Amino acid sequence: MIKDCRKICPVCGYDDLDEGPFTEGGYPTYEICPCCGYEFGYDDEAAGFSYTAFREKWIAGGFRWFTEEEQPNNWDRPMMEKQLSNVKLSKAKSRYVAKIDNI
């Protein structure tokens, strides 16, 4: 199955965002990722977090879901790391590509 790269969170790899980080025209959607809680257009542009910095903070804090009701029951580190592998798919589409380091 081919995933829609625009719907992948570039921070945590969650792959079912409603809109994704940016509109077709390149404007931030202000969508908040239910998994890591990153708000596109706010945490990056106003708060100054790079995706990498936010990801490190999220993982260091126990990688809990922002929307707790959506957190899978068996959510654990291997599952989180598997989800993070989606981030590589979204890199090519990201306008912040230069800010993203290897995970």
The residue from 8, 14, 55, 86 that contacts Zn ion (CB under 5 A) is: 14
Using the rule CB under 5 A, is 51 a contact of Zn ion? no
Q: How far is the CB of 17 from Zn ion (least distance, A)?
A: 8
For residue 85, give every residue at least 6 positions away whose Cβ sits within 8 Å of its Cβ, in sequence order, or none.
13
How far lies 57's CA from each of 12, 49, 54, 94, in Å?
11, 10, 5, 20
Using the rule CB under 5 A, is 35 a contact of Zn ion? yes
Using the rule CB under 5 A, is 9 a contact of Zn ion? yes
Using the rule CB under 5 A, is 36 a contact of Zn ion? yes
